[in-house]
Amino acid sequence: MTSLGTASAAPGEIDTGRLSVGETRDGSPLGLPVCVVNGAADGDTLYIQAASDGDELNGVGVVRSLVPQLDPDDLAGTVLVVGIVNLHAFQVAEHRNPIDDTKLNRAFPGDEHGSSSERIAAAAFEAATGADLVLDLHQGSTSRMIHETRVRCGPRHHLHSECLELAKTFDCGHILDQKGPDGQLARAAPDEGVPTIDPELGGAVGLDEESVAIGVEGIFNVLTAYGFLDGDVDPGDQVRATGFEQYGAPAGGLVDFAPDLGEHVEQGDRLFHVTDAFGTVQAETTADVDGVFWRTRRLPQVATGEYVCSVGTDIDRF
């Protein structure tokens, strides 16, 4: 039997349940929704989690679509899934855990005796670090962003090449290869010897079906390439960035973008201009460096100095 929380499955079985992480404000048990898919044949363990940022729903959409497609009779090994990590935030459609005003993906490896987010992170981290591979499903929150996988352990980490290969296998076209902030699962889990990536599946308000489909395909790529399922995978070359340039608004008003997401830009190319409500251009911003147009705000209205867009820099192909 393989168990995660109250979910327990023998070889060839699937079960769902809850992973206890404390109680809600009225004293009701708080349990994260979990699933165990235990393959009929022996093999490695893949851990998948979604919505550690509570408004990033594409990962939840991936899990919802993925699990019904997994047949344990065809599977060698085990897939463990935490379908919603930041449950407090998910329930109120917020990014941060409202109980302690914390971005949960800055709380790993967590503390089982700590704050609400630290306790949740500790429970998820224990499950993740018992696996052989980890996929932490994210998106660009509610902004607009390309589909990418993030390698967050840093280029000098002893598992960097393994994480990079996992990111390429996921095969969604772009990789950000940049050491992440303290507390990210994709940075903390490699320290425990587990290759981990952070797929960022676009950006959306609610669910974006294209992003969900790309995420499901990426997971099946991993399951096939790493021997959980029969078959072959031939991932394409990925566009890799190792840095970002972020751009703020030089004036207040309404933003119009020049390039499309994923488009290559050169130093001096116009990225956007800002107009007033009557169409008069107030300011224009050009690229400081060559790169790829990576991410933008979703709504056009900006105040002076407000975030507008990002360009991925130091580009190569991997």
DSSP 238-258: -EEE-EEEEEE-SSSEEEEES
pLDDT tier at 183 (50, 70, 90 boundaries)? very high
**pLDDT on residue 197:** 98
d(CA 241, CA 131): 28
Q: What angle do CA 88, 94, 96 make, to 5 degrees?
A: 70
Domain boundaries, the chain: 2-226, 243-317
First to last CA, the chain: 39
What CATH class does 2-226 carry?
alpha beta
Q: Is the pLDDT of residue 192 over 90?
A: yes
pLDDT tier at 155 (50, 70, 90 boundaries)? very high
pLDDT tens per residue, range 266-305: 999 999 999 999 999 999 999 999 999 999 999 999 999 9
Select the more confidently predicted residue: 270 or 205: 270
Q: Is the pLDDT of residue 123 over 90?
A: yes
pLDDT tier at 247 (50, 70, 90 boundaries)? very high
List, as one string, the DSSP characters of 34-101.
EEEEE-SEEEEEEEEEE-SSTT--HHHHHHHHHGGG--GGG-EEEEEEES-S-HHHHHTT-SSBTTTT
d(CA 254, CA 22): 45
What CATH class does 243-317 carry?
mainly beta
Torsion of CA 142, 148, 152, 153, to 10 degrees: 160
The predicted model gives 121-137 an average pLDDT of 98
Please state, rounded to an integer, the average pLDDT across all residues of the chain: 97
d(CA 79, CA 128): 11
**pLDDT on residue 185:** 98
pLDDT tier at 8 (50, 70, 90 boundaries)? very high
pLDDT tier at 90 (50, 70, 90 boundaries)? very high
Beta strands (DSSP E) in 83-220 are 133-137, 144-145, 147-151, 174-177, 196-201
Percent of the chain with pLDDT over 90: 98
**pLDDT on residue 27:** 96
**Whole-model pTM?**
0.97
pLDDT tier at 142 (50, 70, 90 boundaries)? confident
Q: Is the pLDDT of residue 175 over 90?
A: yes
DSSP 8-class letter at 102 = B
| 61 close to 84: Cβ distance less than 8 angstroms | no
Residues, the chain = 318
Q: How many CA atoms lie within 13 A of 214 on its CB side?
A: 22
pLDDT tens per residue, range 227-244: 999 999 999 999 999 999
**pLDDT on residue 73:** 98
The predicted model gives 126-138 an average pLDDT of 98
Residue the block writes with tokens 């900006």: 302
Q: Closest Cα to residue 174, out of 143, 204, 233, 214?
A: 214
Ramachandran class of 227: left when φ > 0, alpha when ψ lies in -120 to 50, beta otherwise: left
All residues at 6 or more sequence positions from 11 whose CB lies less than 8 Å from its CB, including other chains? 38, 39, 40, 41, 72
